[in-house]
Amino acid sequence: MDLSSGSPFWVIKNGLLHAFPRLHQPIECDALVVGAGITGALIADHVTRAGMSVCVIDSREAGWGSTSASTALLQYEIDTEMQELRERFGESDALLAYKSCERAVGSLRTLAKTLRGIDFQPMQSLYIASRWYHKRRLEREGALRQANGFKLQILDRAALSTRFGIDAPVGLLTSVAAETDPYQFAHRLLGRVQSRGGRVHARTALARFEPVRGGIRVTTDQGIPIRCKQLIFAAGYECQNWLEQRVASNRSSYAFVSEPIPGALGPLQNTLVWESARPYLYARRTADRRVLVGGEDDNFDIPLRRDARVAGKANKLLNRINKMFPELPIKIAFAWAGTFAETEDGLPFFGTHEQHGPRVHFAMAYGGNGITYSLIGAELLRDALLGRRHPCAALFNFDRLKRN
């Protein structure tokens, strides 16, 4: 798949951090992870640390798929509000999803501290009402979270104006959030996997696979066989190519990063900002004092059409962020677009699918907080391979489609 258009910032900023070799000879391993982006890297790291032998393959260079286009806002807040999840699945499962994501943000922070050279910054998150008629909905959302033990502030219009210079009816402010460089993070994790005896091979695509006694036999696009006990698809939006059932809708999302901004960054110095409209505008800073802005999603996933829209969409985002923060001298440096997949309920899919049997697993961390989901998926799939059941296994598996 052609997953991005324009100039994704992370690859430009970092360059080719490491060129992992192509696979040239047959190998055997406990777990084969297909996908060397941030999701595959987190899974491989967790599985390696659990004592299993791991091989990671990717048809591109590591991190050059969806990870390179990710805007990497790390939040516990899901695109589907907690009150909507409660209506779908009940309060217990809604609370499980939100609490798991809250814990995952902290786990990502802890994990980042174990690796060198990662841009990772704890932040706070501000969720603002885009329209006056969203006010009561956000107030109910804030009250529901507070009642379930989440620490957040419900800010009225006056408080938003005073503290953030934002004109909005209401906002929800939480201290549990972060931002990172996902391409850098993925490469550091893959390097650690390799240092612990795991194998990482770029420019190596899976062509076909079939069950064999005691495992799975994979054949690459170059005809090289791989024998594994467990196969994990962590290839982002391309995972759907291996399922007959359509479980998500592909869209295009747009973003730009500014020139470095001298002086103060105002509220964006320590706050991620996003809004209640769908699709929503969001903004964050980067470690080198730029502002990263995203949104303007559309329903097209046609590369040529997406390519043609990058400049126009970036200018729309610029106009909107300038109205929100007129004091910041924001100028577009790099703009891009990427494929973005959404599930109907805003939750990810992790686990096996009846189409392929018990040794083929999927990690589909779809949604606005995909990296947070990826951390949960890494823990969930590690537990599955060890014969343990993760608390989110039932909520995040494919069987929930039968409940909806």
pLDDT tens for 179-227 read 999 999 999 999 999 999 999 999 999 999 999 999 999 999 999 999 9
Mean pLDDT, residues 327-343: 89
**pLDDT(118) > 60:** yes
CATH 3.50.50.60, applies to 4-69+183-247+345-403? yes
pLDDT tens for 271-297 read 999 999 988 899 999 999 999 999 888
- Domain range summary for the chain, segments of one domain joined by +: 4-69+183-247+345-403, 111-178+250-342
Q: What local confidence, expressed as pLDDT, does residue 197 receive?
A: 96
Q: What local confidence, expressed as pLDDT, does residue 35 receive?
A: 97
Task: Return the minimum-mean-pLDDT range out of 91-95, 194-198, 336-340, 343-347.
Answer: 336-340
Mean pLDDT, residues 143-172: 97
> What percent of the chain clears pLDDT 70, i.e. is strictly above it?
98
pLDDT tens for 253-275 read 899 999 999 888 999 999 999 99
Name the packing angle between helices 82-89 and 135-147 (round to 10°).
70
End-to-end CA distance of the chain: 29
Question: pLDDT higher for 8 or 188?
Answer: 188
111-178+250-342 CATH choice from 3.30.565.10, 3.40.50.2000, 3.30.9.10, 3.10.270.10: 3.30.9.10
pLDDT-based confidence at residue 5 (cuts at 50, 70, 90): low
Q: What is the pTM of this model?
A: 0.95
Q: What local confidence, expressed as pLDDT, does residue 82 receive?
A: 97
Q: What is the mean pLDDT of the chain?
A: 93
Mean pLDDT, residues 13-30: 94
Q: What local confidence, expressed as pLDDT, does residue 347 receive?
A: 95
Location of structure tokens 């194998």: 199
Q: What local confidence, expressed as pLDDT, does residue 2 receive?
A: 47
Q: What local confidence, expressed as pLDDT, does residue 163 receive?
A: 96
pLDDT tens for 372-390 read 999 999 999 999 999 999 9
Give the other-Cβ count within 10 Å of 162's Cβ.
Answer: 10
Q: What local confidence, expressed as pLDDT, does residue 341 receive?
A: 80
Give the other-Cβ count within 10 Å of 101's Cβ.
Answer: 21
pLDDT-based confidence at residue 308 (cuts at 50, 70, 90): confident
CA pair distance 153, 162, nearest whole angstrom: 14
Q: What local confidence, expressed as pLDDT, does residue 3 receive?
A: 45
Q: What local confidence, expressed as pLDDT, does residue 59 receive?
A: 95
**pLDDT(1) > 80:** no
Mean pLDDT, residues 301-326: 89
